[in-house]
């Protein structure tokens, strides 16, 4: 009778009972994830009376199958870690160590520099007027050297010719081409009436492959001088650069926009003995750049905009265009 009233008890197989004892009494230092899962399932089976416990070989086989599937897709199983670690949203210790080591190696390895392509030239520029009109000039391909646009160059020479009193050509004189590059500005000046030109360019490849061939092609090499020196040093050491030849009649300044401080450059020109009382200075500058209204004793006689490029011309007071009064304009309109 007492046996019928006693609560039902679950019978645990000797295998499960022994395995529970071994795990609880002698736990291993670090159980792999399949042993941890097996332990949990054994405890669950002992509590529910379900004696269909998975074997250790089944758990190992499941892990091997997962590894084979990942490797078949070309993936690294260590990066995915174990199922238990994924449950908590983190990688296994080995996976984290491998990832940290891989990142350190990538940071230490410096990618090799790609060899620069050889610099080449093409003939896209033209002389616009004068003795060698319509002759082609060499210019480098790419944006490392940016010659003055032909539209800007033609407008600049037209303004200076009118301001100098000779609309058909330039007054004879000496021209200084700063940041000359291809030499298109100085060659244009020689073609339109200048007797001598000095070119300041510090890039050896541009001098040997572009500037000098252009002077030879146009026939102005004998009346030209090339100075391979930075413009700042040229303006500071005027006596050593020119040997005390005096001031220039024309100075063109066409620098690369990003490497020049125009305020410092204009101050150097203002204090330089290269600028005389009747010198004309041609300056090409980018938008949103404030240019002074005067450069020493020279005044700004023109300021033009051509797209993103602006052009300022400084000259003596007598070269300023006289402003006509309203009455004179009315009289001219009536006539």
The answer to the question of residue 16 being in a domain is yes
Regarding whether 263 and 154 lie in a shared domain, the answer is: yes
Regarding whether 64 and 137 lie in a shared domain, the answer is: no
DSSP H helical ranges for 243-291: 262-271
Q: Which candidate, 166, 279, 253, 185, places its Cα nearest to that of 224?
A: 185
Q: How many structural domains comprise the chain?
A: 2
Maximum Cα–Cα distance for the chain, whole Å?
A: 143
Regarding whether 309 and 192 lie in a shared domain, the answer is: yes
Model pLDDT, residue 161: 94
Q: What is the pTM of this model?
A: 0.64
Regarding whether 153 and 195 lie in a shared domain, the answer is: yes
Cα dihedral 46, 52, 58, 63 sign: negative
pLDDT at 288 over 80: yes
Per-residue model confidence as pLDDT tens digits over 96-106 = 677 767 776 66
Number of H helices, E strands in the chain: 15, 10
Model pLDDT, residue 321: 72
Pairing of strands 309-315, 224-227: unpaired
| CA-based R_g, the chain, Å | 42
The whole domain housing 196 covers 121-319
Model pLDDT, residue 244: 60
The answer to the question of residue 88 being in a domain is yes
pLDDT at 326 over 70: no
Q: Which two tokens stand for residue 15?
A: 């295998």
Model pLDDT, residue 24: 55
At 207 the three-state DSSP class reads helix
The answer to the question of residue 3 being in a domain is no
Q: Which candidate, 129, 196, 121, places its Cα nearest to that of 157?
A: 129
* 33 vs 37: CA distance, rounded Å: 6
The answer to the question of residue 327 being in a domain is no
Q: Which two tokens stand for residue 51?
A: 């004696």
Regarding whether 243 and 315 lie in a shared domain, the answer is: yes
The answer to the question of residue 330 being in a domain is no
The answer to the question of residue 324 being in a domain is no
Model pLDDT, residue 2: 47
Regarding whether 271 and 139 lie in a shared domain, the answer is: yes
Q: How is residue 149 annotated by DSSP?
A: P
The answer to the question of residue 252 being in a domain is yes
- Mean pLDDT along residues 247-270: 91
The answer to the question of residue 261 being in a domain is yes
Regarding whether 150 and 41 lie in a shared domain, the answer is: no
Q: Which of 66, 86, 108 is the last residue of a domain?
A: 108
Model pLDDT, residue 110: 62
Q: Which of 108, 142, 159 is the last residue of a domain?
A: 108
**Cα angle 265-293-178, degrees, rounded to a multiple of 5:** 30
Secondary structure in 3-state letters for 103-130: HHHHHHCCCCCCCCCCCCEEEEEECCCC
What CATH number does the domain containing 246 carry? 3.40.50.150
Regarding whether 153 and 103 lie in a shared domain, the answer is: no
Regarding whether 177 and 104 lie in a shared domain, the answer is: no
Model pLDDT, residue 3: 47
Model pLDDT, residue 189: 97
Per-residue model confidence as pLDDT tens digits over 209-224 = 999 999 999 999 999 9
Per-residue model confidence as pLDDT tens digits over 48-95 = 555 454 555 666 677 777 777 777 766 777 766 554 444 444 556 666
- Mean pLDDT along residues 26-53: 50
End-to-end CA distance of the chain: 143
Strands (E) across the chain are located at 121-126, 136-140, 174-178, 196-200, 224-227, 248-253, 275-286, 294-295, 298-306, 309-315
Model pLDDT, residue 1: 46
pLDDT at 160 over 80: yes
Regarding whether 252 and 208 lie in a shared domain, the answer is: yes
Per-residue model confidence as pLDDT tens digits over 127-146 = 999 999 999 999 998 766 77
Q: Which two tokens stand for residue 18?
A: 């022994």
């Amino acid at each position: 009778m007492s046996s019928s009233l006693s609560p039902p008890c679950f019978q645990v197989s000797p295998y499960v009972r022994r395995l529970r004892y071994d795990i609880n009494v002698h736990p291993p230092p670090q159980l792999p994830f399949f042993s941890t899962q097996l332990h949990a399932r054994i405890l669950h089976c002992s509590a529910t009376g379900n004696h269909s416990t998975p074997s250790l070989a089944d758990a190992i086989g499941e892990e091997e199958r997962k590894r084979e599937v990942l490797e078949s897709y070309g993936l690294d199983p260590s990066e995915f870690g174990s199922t238990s670690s994924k449950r908590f949203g983190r990688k296994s210790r080995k996976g984290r160590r491998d990832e940290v080591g891989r990142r350190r190696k990538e940071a230490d390895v410096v990618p090799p520099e790609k060899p620069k392509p050889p610099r080449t030239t093409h003939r896209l520029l033209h002389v616009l007027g004068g003795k060698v009109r319509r002759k082609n000039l060499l210019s480098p391909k790419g944006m490392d050297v940016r010659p003055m646009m032909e539209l800007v160059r033609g407008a600049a020479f037209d303004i200076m010719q009118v301001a100098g009193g000779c609309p058909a050509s330039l007054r004879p004189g000496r021209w200084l081409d700063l940041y000359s590059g291809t030499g298109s500005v100085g060659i244009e000046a020689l073609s339109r009436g200048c007797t001598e030109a000095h070119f300041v360019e510090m890039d050896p490849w541009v001098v040997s492959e572009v500037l000098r061939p252009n002077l030879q092609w146009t026939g102005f090499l004998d009346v030209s001088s090339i100075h391979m020196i930075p413009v700042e040093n040229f303006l500071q050491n005027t006596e050593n650069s020119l040997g005390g030849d005096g001031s220039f009649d024309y100075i063109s300044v066409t620098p690369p926009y990003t490497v020049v401080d125009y305020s410092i450059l204009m101050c150097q020109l203002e204090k330089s003995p290269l600028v005389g009382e009747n010198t004309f200075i041609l300056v090409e500058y980018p938008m949103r750049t404030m240019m002074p209204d005067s450069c020493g004793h020279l005044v700004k006689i023109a300021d033009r905009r051509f797209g993103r490029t602006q052009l300022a011309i400084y000259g003596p007071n007598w070269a300023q265009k006289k402003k006509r009064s309203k009455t004179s304009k009315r009289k001219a309109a009536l006539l």
